[in-house]
Structure 1
Amino acid sequence: MSNWEALDEFLRTDPRDVGCDLALDALHAYAEMAAAGENPEERFPGLSVHLRSCSACSGDHEALLRTVREFGGEFR
């Protein structure tokens, strides 16, 4: 990726995006809410934005959501 491509990608980032670090801190609560049939996007809008743009965190979310649905329980 060139410097110009990296800059262009950065400038397209939604300012509501919380980034990977904060997303990973709250991912367990987000997945638990989703598994319970609640709408985690209302409580964690910046995390929702991030999951739409970050394939790594989105993959972690999907794996965690499958785990919560299969095994139940809380991850705290």
Structure 2
Amino acid sequence: MNHREQLERVLATDPADVGCEQAMALLHVYVELIETDPDAVRKYPGIAAHLAACGPCGEDFQGLLEAVTAGV
């Protein structure tokens, strides 16, 4: 990724995005909410925005969600 691509990615970031640190700190709570509350995405837009924008955090979310739904 070149400097221009990096700049464009930063400028395209949703201002609601809470960032990796906060998203990861609350990931387990958010996954449980997703399972029980259909409005969780709307109630926590900063986490939802981050998980949609950050590939590694989004992958962690998907993996944890799959583990929870599978009963692991």
Question: How many residues matched?
Answer: 71
TM-score normalised by L of structure 2 = 0.84
TM-score normalised by L of structure 1 = 0.80
CA deviation profile, 1:51-71 (whole Å, cap 9, x unmatched): 111121111111111222233
Q: Which runs of 4+ in 1 moved over 3 A?
A: none
Hey, what does 1:3 align to over in structure 2?
Answer: 3
Between the two proteins, what is the percent identity of the paired residues?
A: 37
In our comparison, the structure showing a higher alpha carbon Rg is: 1
Q: Aligned partners of 2:14, 2:34: CA distance in 1, in Å? A: 23
Any stretches of 5+ residues in structure 1 without a counterpart? none
Structure with bigger helix share is 2
